[in-house]
Structure 1
């Protein structure tokens, strides 16, 4: 970080689009207000996945809605603030729209970064760590190029309806049954972090997906932070150049 007054912000799991258009729009406005507040001192913004409850990029079509959020993100990016996007399990089928239209890099796997001399491993968090075999099998099927090719041939009105139904009804996709704290020793992303530390040191592990804001010490001078969500918690993480902390937007 070059400017000691600047900060790096992290947020995830907005799931815009649910439970319906009107209530989603209220949450979008709250998220946009947060973006407006942080733009004055943001050196970079990391969006850690599931910005939308469903997103699929056809070659010439993108899902309807989310104009305010996309417009605000475009404004911040055009102002010179770097923005990074990590694909989640609900925007699994994101391709190059963000990269071409918004100049925002898109990552499908966790990625290492270094800020202020601290090493970060950042990602969405789905499919990592032990267990969750049902979801891991389903993700392989959904992310297979043949699956995407077949789905693209559905009319968007049909494809989006099917995806919205599965997003809320299929527990493997929605993850509703997983939104409960399992205890520090049983949190599978914390276990994943500990395994990674066996090979390399990281100061911070940053993930979303769990919808629970949490901070767990996973090793000597190493912390796992989950950014929570913007459905129930409205939480985010911020790095001020020396420390990473969880915050709640009010």
Structure 2
């Protein structure tokens, strides 16, 4: 169980995100102990991250340190791995103290029975080719072979090949993942809250027997979700440094 208020961040893509986006993220993380009791990262915090045995990517070093500080302050961090930061969960967990998983997470966030998943590969038809590719990319033999590449060269290769999957928002406007979430929320034994990332489309809407949410892409919108016991809201850091509440939905009975 994660305590509320719980802040949910999605798709930061450090490495291609602007310096301003990273500064806003660091400010958000440093203020978090004053405003939240837990944090969820919905994947793709990095545009690319890989755990070599004796080397560590320098991208996002200050953000990783801020996450470690959160754990030291008693704020639990749950990290749902995405398709850009799936090759280093154990190392990321050890360095930050976060709970890291590549599998969908189901449990309670406050009073909400919740299902969390990054969202890559969930659409039945459209994502079938990607699921086959993902099986290869995440195979232990592939990971072992990639680890032999020099980090500078390997990172350049990965960044060039990841342009398509990070560019802009989902072509379907997020409707595919919304349909997946709605199906889960409609099931008799389903959760009351489903949250995805991946599409980069900020969303908060009633669906099925509960609520569907997507924090969008921090590097595009600087938006996030806040889960309280009785409601969930979508918020945004403004250019002035204030946090604006865009919309809110009360928890269904």
Q: What TM-score range do you get, normalising by the shorter chain? A: 0.7 to 0.9
Count of residues in Structure 1 that have an aligned counterpart in Structure 2: 236
Aligned to 2:219: 231
CA shift at 1:65, angstroms? 2.6
Displacement over 6 Å in runs of 4+: none
1:50-129 residue pairs with structure 2 within 5 A?
A: 50-129=44-123
Partner residue in 2 for 1:214: 203
Q: Helix, strand or coil for the counterpart of 1:232?
A: helix
Separation in structure 1 between the aligned mates of residue 70 and residue 137 of structure 2, nearest angstrom: 32
Q: C-alpha distance in 2, partners of 1:59/1:137?
A: 27
Question: Which residue of 177, 182, 190 corresponds with 1:194?
Answer: 182
Contact kept? 2:43, 2:82, Cα under 8 Å? yes
CA apart distance, 1:95: 2.8
TM-score, length of structure 1 as denominator length: 0.87
Normalised by the size of structure 2, how large is the TM-score? 0.86
Listed one character per residue, the Cα deviations across residues 54-104 of structure 1 (whole Å, up to 9, x for unaligned) are: 001111212123122112111111111101111001112123112222221
Q: Structure 1 residues 2, 134: closer, same or farther in 2, change over 3 A?
A: closer
Report how far residue 117 of structure 1 moved: 2.7
Instruction: Name the CA distance, whole Å, in 2 between partners of 1:154 and 1:235.
Output: 36
SS of corresponding position for 1:96: helix
Does the residue aligned with 1:205 lie in a helix, a strand or coil?
strand
Q: Cα deviation per residue 1:113-158 (whole Å; 9 max; x = unaligned)?
A: 2133320101211111322222222211111111111111111111
> Residues of 2 paired with 1:231 and 1:67: CA distance?
17
Residue 174, structure 1, aligned to residue 166, structure 2? yes
* Distance of 2:100 and 2:28 partners within structure 1: 22
Q: Provide the C-alpha distance between the structure 2 equivalents of 1:110 and 1:71, rounded to a whole number of angstroms.
A: 25
Q: 1:177 to 1:240 in 2, by over 3 A?
A: closer
**Residue in 2 that maps onto 1:146:** 141
Seen in structure 2, the aligned counterparts of structure 1 residues 8 and 236 have a Cα distance that, compared at 3 Å, is: same
Q: Distance in 1 between matches of 2:56 and 2:15?
A: 14
Aligned-residue CA RMSD (Å):
2.0
Q: Unaligned 5+ residue runs, structure 1?
A: none
CA distance in structure 1 between the aligned counterparts of 2:156 and 2:198, rounded to whole angstroms: 23
